[in-house]
Structures are given as C-alpha cells and as structure tokens.
Amino acid sequence: MRSLQVGDVVVRRSRLLRTRGAVVKLTQGKRDGVRLVWVKWDHATTLPNPSLELEDTLDGPRPGP
C-alpha cells in the first residue's frame, strides 16, 4: 500500500464495524515503526473523532486505472 496523504479516504479494518473517514493530518511520530495519522470519521457517533490511527490498520485509496 502506498503512503497515505491528507484527504485520502480510508476504512478502519481492525474493528468489527468498518468505519470510513478521511486523513486530516500526518504526523512525524511512529509506533513500532508504523506512521501515525489523524483520521476524521464519517460516522457521527465514532469517538474520539478525529482519532490517531496506525497507518497499517487502515485500508487506503485504491489505485486508479
């Protein structure tokens, strides 16, 4: 998967319910070698919103044709 960019639509795949959101900020920080990104979730009751997520737990945008 390519690195995420601000504005990319992502889906959280590590949870039972797959929540969709958009990347709003990239961080310089890493956890276990994986970059952290801030994601604003589309679902109104998802808390915290936005949340700090590991980049490799998100399904990113599909490559174009």
The pLDDT of residue 17: 72
44-55 mean pLDDT: 89
Q: What is the average pLDDT score of the chain?
A: 85
The predicted model scores a pTM of 0.81
DSSP for the chain, written as a single string: -PPP-TT-EEEE-SSSS--EEEEEEEEEEEETTEEEEEEEESSTT-SSSSEEEEGGGEE-PPPP-
Strand order across the beta sheet in which 20-31 lies: 51-54, 34-41, 20-31, 9-12, 58-59
23 phi-psi bin (left φ>0, alpha ψ -120 to 50, beta other): beta
